[in-house]
Amino acid sequence: MLLREVAYARPASLAEAVELLAANDGARALAGGQTLINVMKARAGSPDALIDLSALEELKGIELGTDGTLEIGAMTTYTELVQSSEARARPILGEVCAQIADVQVRNRGTIGGNICTNDPTNHLPPLLAALGAEMTIHGAGGDRTVTAQDFFLGVYMTAVGAGELLTKIRIPAGRADGFAAVTLGVEGTCIVSAAASLNGSVKIALGCVDAVPVVLELASDDEAAVRAAVASATLDPPSDVHASSEYRTHLAEVLAVRAVAQAAKNRS
C-alpha cells in the first residue's frame, strides 16, 4: 500500500476549508502536493485528512494594483507566475520560479505551498523576505497580515497556525531585484541562495544558512559593504553531505554579491 488510508475533502469556500481544518487536528491543507504527498509517501508525515484547496477561488489569481503592488493568491502555481503578464511587474518572481525543479513540479507547486513548507532550501522564502512581502492569513477570527520576517518561524514552521490558511501574498512595487544560488545540478535544490532588493533600501536575504532566511539591511550596495555585512552576520550554517558549514558561509558572501550586482543592473 502506497499511502495509509486518509480522509479527503475538497471544500468549495474558504470558510468551509477553515472550518474543516479547525475541526480536525490531524487535517492538513493540500495545495500542489509536491512536498506533502512526497512526505506522506516517505512515511515522514501521516495526516488523518487532506483538505484540498484546489477549488477555492479566494486563493487564486494575480492582481496588479495601479501603484505596482502585486497581490498573489496562495494557490498560484510557479508556471502561472512565470507566464503571468501581471507578475512581470516584479520580474524576479517569474525568473526565480522558472528555476524551481522541473516542469511537473512547476505546474503543480504553488507559491503558498512553497512558503508554508518553509524548507530552508526552498527558493521562495529568501526571495519573498528580500522583496518585503506581506502574507495574509485567514482563520476563524478573520484575516491577519504578517511581514515575511514574522512569517518564517523555523524549519517547516510558519506563522500559519492550526485551523488557518495562507490566502494571499502582497508584494510592493519595484524592479531592482536579484537572486543567485548554487544548486545541486541544474534546476536542483539550493545549497545556498541569496536574494537582493535595492528598491529604496538595500536588503539581502540569505537562504540555506539558518532555519529561516537571514535578512540583512545595509546602508550601501557596494561590494565591500555587502561582503562586510555578510561577514558580520556571523553565520553558522549546518554541514551536510552537500557542503560544509565553512563552504556555505563562503557561498553566502559570494552569492550576496552576485544578487546585489543583478539588482543594481536591474535598477539602471
Ligand X SMILES: Cc1cc2nc3c(=O)[nH]c(=O)nc-3n(C[C@H](O)[C@H](O)[C@H](O)COP(=O)(O)OP(=O)(O)OC[C@H]3O[C@@H](n4cnc5c(N)ncnc54)[C@H](O)[C@@H]3O)c2cc1C
Contact positions vs ligand X (CB under 6 A): 28-36, 38, 53, 74, 100-101, 105, 108-110, 112-114, 116-117, 122-124, 160, 165-166, 189
Cβ closest to ligand X, residue 53 vs residue 229: 53
- For ligand X, give the closer residue by CB, 226 or 259: 259
**CB burial of residue 228 (10 Å; 0-12, 13-18, 19+):** middle
Minimum gap (Å) between residue 89 Cβ and ligand X: 22
Considering the complex, what minimum distance in angstroms separates the CB of residue 108 from ligand X? 6
Would residue 40 be called left, alpha or beta, if left means φ above 0 and alpha means ψ between -120 and 50 degrees? alpha
Cα distance between residue 198 and residue 220, in whole Å: 10
Q: Is 186 or 224 the residue whose CB approaches ligand X more closely?
A: 186
Smallest distance, ligand X to C-beta of residue 126, A: 10
Q: How far is the CB of 228 from ligand X (least distance, A)?
A: 29
| Minimum CB distance to ligand X, residue 200 (Å) | 27
Residue nearest to ligand X (CB): 113
Distance of alpha carbon 237 from its chain centroid, rounded?
19
Q: In this complex, which beta carbon is closest to ligand X, that of residue 26 or of residue 91? A: 26
CA distance readout (Å), 202 to 27, 104, 131, 259: 40, 35, 10, 11
CB of 105 to ligand X, least distance (A): 5
If the CB atoms of residues 11 and 112 are measured against ligand X, the closer one turns out to be 112
For ligand X, the closer CB: 76 or 262: 76
